[in-house]
């Protein structure tokens, strides 16, 4: 077996530790447990700003004025309504299909009907957010068998999303919980789905193509599906007394505990901390939340006992599950809702990629056979 010695750098498995270039959008400080969006601490943003405002920040680098927020909502809501009104788009949302397949197909149909610029524009990004939010909300309404609600004056994106999905007026608590989730999951650096989107637009493709690729990456179980698995884990454990034996059996069996450990964070995930606070404030099911807290503390103790050399802490998916349960969201829509929030970050990176107009084309180390001389 020969090795191609022309390879410049061996990135190792998963490109870990390799930078593809500079970015002004997000800093994930895994050592200190901090998440920064455009110079703003995400834990501060979630307390003081809506998802609408944070999406604008990610796209432009500054928080919007009232007029800019209203203009953003007008574009987003217009596309949410268009998705619900276009039969071709709605037809792709088969309620019996895998939800991420339906969402990916819906975005492909949406982009086919729109003249999107190479690389994309801020208007394309805002329209794309409306299209995916409308698609997922409509899919939720179809799965629940309800008539989709209508967007009302003064709605935020979170309120409009829940209104379409449930056909009812959401409570302020539900809107606040969803808004917090959307803010905290909007962006997270060069993760797999973001990298996918940037690679696609680096070819001079468009935001629609980038989003279809990013959605496909997020569909994978190693990336976007963990909150639903956390809910299933809590269901299986059932009682506080069963937590330790159940968790010990999983760890000793070599299985992963969902909601714990992260590729980047080597301390408590700041998004988990913020969502845990949201879950505490909601407190709609104190017994369920109490069980989740007990399971978390037991899991952290056992992970330290069994794997003292590994820095395994609670990650965002753990309390994302608690918050999404409180909103009464269909578990099948957890990952699609994640895709809605992450569309803000994905498209911000796609827009940034325009500033570096060079095709992303890494090397690979060839280790196959060479022809005989």
Residues identified as active-site? 262, 317
Rounded Cα distance between 88 and 84, Å, is 10
Coil vs helix vs strand at 153:
coil
Rounded Cα distance between 125 and 130, Å, is 9
- Angle, CA 170 vertex, CA 167 and CA 176 arms, to 5°: 140
Q: Tokens 């680096």 appear where? A: 202
Burial of 40 (0-12, 13-18, 19+ CB in 10 A): middle
**Strand pairing of 40-41 and 26-29?**
unpaired
- Angle, CA 29 vertex, CA 12 and CA 21 arms, to 5°: 55
> Could you tell me if 207 and 95 are in contact, meaning their C-beta atoms sit under 8 angstroms apart?
no
> Could you tell me if 152 and 169 are in contact, meaning their C-beta atoms sit under 8 angstroms apart?
no
Rounded Cα distance between 336 and 322, Å, is 17
Rounded Cα distance between 5 and 115, Å, is 44
> Could you tell me if 212 and 193 are in contact, meaning their C-beta atoms sit under 8 angstroms apart?
no
Rounded Cα distance between 197 and 262, Å, is 22
Residues in contact with 244: Cβ distance below 8 Å, sequence separation at least 6, in sequence order: 298, 302
CB atoms within 10 A of CB 4: 12
Rounded Cα distance between 7 and 9, Å, is 6
State the DSSP string of 184-223: HTS--SS-HHHHHHHHHHTTT--HHHHHHHHHHHHHSTTT
């Amino acid at each position: 077996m020969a090795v191609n010695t022309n390879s410049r750098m061996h990135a190792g498995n998963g490109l870990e530790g390799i930078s593809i270039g500079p970015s002004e959008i997000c800093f994930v400080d895994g050592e200190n447990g901090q998440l920064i969006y455009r110079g703003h601490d995400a834990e501060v943003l979630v307390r003081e700003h809506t998802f609408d405002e944070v999406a604008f920040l990610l796209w432009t680098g500054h928080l919007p004025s009232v007029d800019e927020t209203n203009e953003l909502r007008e574009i987003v809501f217009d596309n949410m309504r268009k998705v619900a009104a276009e039969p071709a788009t709605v037809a792709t949302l088969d309620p019996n299909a895998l939800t991420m397949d339906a969402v990916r197909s819906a975005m492909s149909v949406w982009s086919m009907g729109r003249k999107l610029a190479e690389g994309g524009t801020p208007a394309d990004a805002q329209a794309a957010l409306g299209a995916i939010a409308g698609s997922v909300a409509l899919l939720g309404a179809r799965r629940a068998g309800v008539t989709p609600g209508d967007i009302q004056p003064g709605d935020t994106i979170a309120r409009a999303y829940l209104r379409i999905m449930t056909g009812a007026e959401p409570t302020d608590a539900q809107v606040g919980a969803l808004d917090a989730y959307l803010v905290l999951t909007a962006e997270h650096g060069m993760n797999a789905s973001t990298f996918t989107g940037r690679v696609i637009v680096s070819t001079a493709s468009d935001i629609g193509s980038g989003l279809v690729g990013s959605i496909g990456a997020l569909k994978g179980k190693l990336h976007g599906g963990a909150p639903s698995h956390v809910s299933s884990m809590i269901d299986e454990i059932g009682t506080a007394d069963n937590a330790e034996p159940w968790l010990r059996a999983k760890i000793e069996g070599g299985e992963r505990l969902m909601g714990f450990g992260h590729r980047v964070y080597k301390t408590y995930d700041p998004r988990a901390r913020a969502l845990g606070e949201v879950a505490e404030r909601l407190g709609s099911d104190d017994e369920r939340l109490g069980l989740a807290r007990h399971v978390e503390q037991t899991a952290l103790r056992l992970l330290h006992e069994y794997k003292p050399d590994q820095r395994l802490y609670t990650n965002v998916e753990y309390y994302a599950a608690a918050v999404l349960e409180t909103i009464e969201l269909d578990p099948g829509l957890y990952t699609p809702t994640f895709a809605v929030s992450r569309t803000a970050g994905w498209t911000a990176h796609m827009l940034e990629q325009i500033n570096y107009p060079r095709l992303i084309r890494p090397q690979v180390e060839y280790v196959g056979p060479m022809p005989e001389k």
